[in-house]
């Protein structure tokens, strides 16, 4: 049936005064691009204008973000996407994540990490052993081939990004700050570090991070894109680029081989069945007016989208059994509300730490984990009066914001939820010579404990943090919302908070993103093995709320300024029908440099 404008705006939503936004919701009937970088949004907009569809535009945005936000994303990383086909009303998922080297062994990695028998430890994010086969290049090609319009070539789709690299572009403020934070790791990672820095004869080693507004060029990355555009997957996974990837990894003691890259080229990205949960957010909080059941779609493991579905299912059960009250608008971000959402996420993360891994190698009971019966059992662990000590297998709650998420819709009614990432800032910072991009550090999420489902193994994919999301209307399978929140282990937390802000508390696509967020457990259990129990609150959530959470046993810290990067950067495109036309209403996170751009 689809939503109408009245459904979105007739009920007064929360006014998030402590965190006021200067952004308005952007509306369009011809399509929308919402991402963290205006130049990248413009690239997607250009592809829509040229007749491409949402999938074509998404690949253009991904490539342009690689140019303009190289700390967060790139062709040396991985991608996942969900695609809504307006003709079939079906949601499809594509897993574009890479695998560990085929010739490694757990014993050898443990030896390289200096771990004695019985000793626990992990792979550091700057280690060459954190490199997995880059999946993004194949993922871009497969996205266009599987979901694209067929009206544009890959060369046309990558052209805007190629021009940014060759002609140069002015660097945005947040991108510059991320660059500055990673300058020394870039210098230390490989001999080819100058490819990611701006030439300056007065700077150390003749290069430095670019300042806001300075022009940065990356002709080597532009050439990498040209090779992918003209030669397809073989141009990236075989030949010069592949040889340089393998050379720099092996020179640093890694195990990635040409056979690993060839294997990925030949197998490509994996089409998988998305997972979903039906829920009425108004049963948990907010007004029931204009409420209704929705179906939330997430990418299945080895991604962590299942955490968001589990947490929402637990909240639904807690509300059904009256363990939590029906939260009113005035109780948004109150102590009881935050405690309930925090604890539901902790329970979900505890399961994900054990179960989220490569389903091609280990059995992952995705449907069982989101079944009502199982979630009802897990909900019994919730105590409304105190913070839990739940660490079944250890929480994976470690946060990085070095990912890009974006959403695209087109005039035909298609939508794509797309996420592309290097994981940590500039990934490992290791640059293959003459290629213009760093390699990711996803293997740092593998366990090195024998018997763990997520233990590192040859050609296995690790626990993945990047997760796209989408919402449909179950009554007719129409598209409701394309949305997501980037930021490592913040992502499922952001999905839950933004969804409830929008659909339970009646926020607009923009105000739902603007609302102050929390982030739990930002420590890294893979390396420290001490789970960080801190609840990080964003400025705008008052000290009285922080104190109330402390009294329940939570460790609380309020983050301000640039520290707010921990809370991720989201995008929302909501769909509704007006006068027989589809209207796309979009918001873009004020924690990023970007915006929502309508197609024209």
Q: What is the pLDDT of residues 91-150, one digit of tens each?
A: 999 999 999 999 999 999 999 999 998 898 899 999 999 999 999 999 999 999 999 999
Q: Say what percent of the chain tops pLDDT 70.
A: 91
Residue from 596, 588, 600 nearest 33 by CA: 596
Place 241 in a pLDDT band, splitting at 50, 70 and 90.
very high
Distance of alpha carbon 369 from alpha carbon 523, whole angstroms? 25
Domain boundaries, the chain: 37-271+406-445
Q: Is the pLDDT assigned to residue 290 strictly greater than 80? A: no
pLDDT digits (tens, 9 = 90+) for 552-594: 999 999 998 878 878 888 999 999 999 889 999 999 988 888 7
Strand order in the sheet with 415-421: 270-272, 90-96, 78-85, 415-421, 403-410, 31-35, 595-598
Sign of CA dihedral 176, 181, 182, 187: positive
- Tell how many helices (H) and how many strands (E) occur in the chain: 19, 22
Q: Average of pLDDT values for 14-38?
A: 77
Average pLDDT of every residue of the chain: 89
Can you give the C-alpha Rg of the chain in angstroms?
22
Interval 384-410 mean pLDDT? 65
Q: What is the pLDDT of residues 489-508, one digit of tens each?
A: 888 899 999 999 999 999 99
- What SS3 state is found at 558? strand
Three-class secondary structure of residue 502 per DSSP:
helix
Q: Decide which of 245 and 529 is more confident.
A: 245
- Stretch 328-333: mean pLDDT, rounded? 92
* pLDDT at residue 97, rounded to an integer: 95
Give the Cα separation of 206 and 185 in Å (integer): 16
- pLDDT tops 60 at residue 11: no
Q: What is the pLDDT of residue 390?
A: 56
Largest CA distance in the chain: 68
Q: Which of 343, 308, 298 is nearest to 489 (CA)?
A: 308
Tokens coding 374: 């199982």
Q: What is the pLDDT of residue 257?
A: 97
Q: How confident is the model at residue 183 (pLDDT cuts 50, 70, 90)?
A: very high
**pLDDT of 388:** 82
pLDDT for 563: 80
Decide the pairing of beta strands 3-4 and 570-578: parallel
Residue 247 pLDDT > 90:
yes
Query: Would you say residue 446 has pLDDT above 90?
Result: yes
Instruction: Provide the pLDDT for residue 17.
Output: 37
Looking at residue 16, its pLDDT comes to 41
Let me know if 263 is exposed, middle or buried by CB neighbors in 10 A (0-12, 13-18, 19+).
middle
Q: How far is CA 62 from CA 156, 194, 389, 519, in A?
A: 14, 23, 40, 26
Residues 431 and 484: their CA atoms lie apart, in Å, by 29
**pLDDT for 530:** 39
Question: What is the pLDDT, as a whole number, of residue 354?
Answer: 80
| Residue whose pair of structure tokens reads 């440099």 in the numeric block | 593
Distance CA 336, CA 206 (A): 54
Which token pair is 147?
Answer: 């979901």
pLDDT (0 to 100) of residue 403: 66
The reported pLDDT for the residue numbered 291 is 65
pLDDT over threshold 50, residue 309: yes
The packing angle between helices 219-231 and 136-147, to 10°, is 50
What confidence tier does 351 reach under pLDDT thresholds 50, 70, 90? confident
Closest to 525 measured CA to CA, from 401, 345, 392, 362: 392
Residue 409 has pLDDT above 70, yes or no: yes
């Amino acid at each position: 049936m689809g939503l109408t404008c009245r459904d979105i705006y007739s009920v007064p939503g929360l006014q998030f005064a402590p965190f006021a936004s200067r952004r308005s919701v952007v509306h369009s009937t011809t399509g929308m691009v919402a991402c963290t970088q205006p130049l990248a949004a413009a690239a997607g907009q250009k592809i829509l204008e040229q007749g491409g569809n949402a999938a074509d535009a998404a690949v253009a945005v991904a490539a342009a973000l690689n140019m303009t936000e190289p700390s967060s994303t790139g062709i040396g990383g991985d991608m996942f996407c969900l695609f809504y086909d307006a003709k079939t009303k079906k949601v499809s998922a594509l897993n574009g994540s890479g695998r560990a080297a085929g010739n490694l062994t757990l014993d050898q990695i443990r030896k390289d990490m200096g771990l004695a028998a019985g000793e626990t430890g992990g792979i550091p994010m700057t280690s060459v052993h954190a490199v997995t086969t880059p999946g993004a290049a194949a993922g871009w090609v497969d996205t266009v081939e599987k979901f694209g319009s067929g009206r544009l070539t890959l060369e046309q789709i990558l052209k805007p990004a190629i021009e940014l690299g060759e002609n140069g572009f002015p660097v945005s403020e947040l991108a510059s700050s991320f660059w500055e934070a990673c300058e020394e790791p870039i210098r230390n990672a490989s001999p080819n570090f100058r490819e990611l820095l701006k030439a300056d004869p007065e700077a150390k080693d003749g290069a430095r991070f670019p300042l806001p507004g300075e022009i940065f060029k990356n002709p080597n990355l532009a050439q990498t894109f040209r090779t992918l555009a003209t030669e397809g997957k073989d141009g990236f996974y075989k030949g010069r680029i592949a040889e340089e990837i393998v050379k720099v990894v092996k020179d640093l003691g890694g195990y990635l081989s040409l056979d690993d890259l060839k294997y990925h080229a030949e197998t490509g990205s994996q089409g998988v069945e998305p997972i979903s949960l039906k829920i009425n957010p108004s049963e948990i909080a907010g007004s029931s007016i204009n409420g209704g059941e929705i179906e939330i779609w997430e990418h299945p493991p080895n991604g962590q989208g299942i955490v968001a579905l589990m947490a929402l299912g637990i909240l639904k059960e807690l509300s059904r059994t009256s363990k939590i009250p029906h939260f009113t608008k005035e109780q948004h971000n109150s102590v009881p509300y935050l405690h309930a959402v925090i604890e539901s996420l902790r329970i979900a993360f505890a399961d994900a730490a054990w179960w989220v891994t490569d389903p091609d190698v280990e059995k992952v009971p995705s449907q069982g984990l989101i079944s009502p019966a199982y979630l009802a059992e897990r909900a019994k662990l919730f105590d409304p009066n105190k913070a839990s000590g739940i660490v079944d297998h250890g929480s994976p709650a470690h946060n990085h914001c070095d990912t890009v998420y974006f959403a695209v819709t087109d005039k035909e009614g298609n939508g794509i939820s797309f996420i592309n990432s290097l994981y940590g800032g500039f990934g490992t910072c290791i640059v293959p010579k003459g290629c213009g991009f760093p390699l990711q550090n996803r293997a740092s999420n593998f366990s090195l404990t024998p018997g763990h489902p997520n233990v590192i193994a040859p050609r296995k994919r690790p626990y993945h943090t990047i997760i796209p999301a989408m919402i449909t209307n179950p009554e007719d399978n129409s598209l409701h919302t394309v949305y997501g929140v980037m930021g490592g282990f913040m992502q499922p937390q952001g999905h839950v908070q933004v969804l409830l802000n929008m659909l339970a508390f009646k926020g607009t696509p923009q105000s739902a993103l603007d609302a102050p967020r929390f982030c739990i457990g930002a420590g890294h259990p893979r390396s420290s093995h001490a789970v960080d129990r801190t609840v990080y609150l964003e400025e705008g959530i008052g000290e009285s709320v922080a104190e109330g959470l402390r009294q329940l046993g939570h460790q609380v810290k309020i983050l301000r300024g640039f520290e707010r990067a921990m809370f991720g950067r989201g995008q929302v495109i909501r769909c509704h029908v007006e006068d027989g036309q589809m209207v796309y209403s979009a918001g873009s996170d004020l924690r990023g440099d970007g915006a929502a751009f309508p197609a024209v």
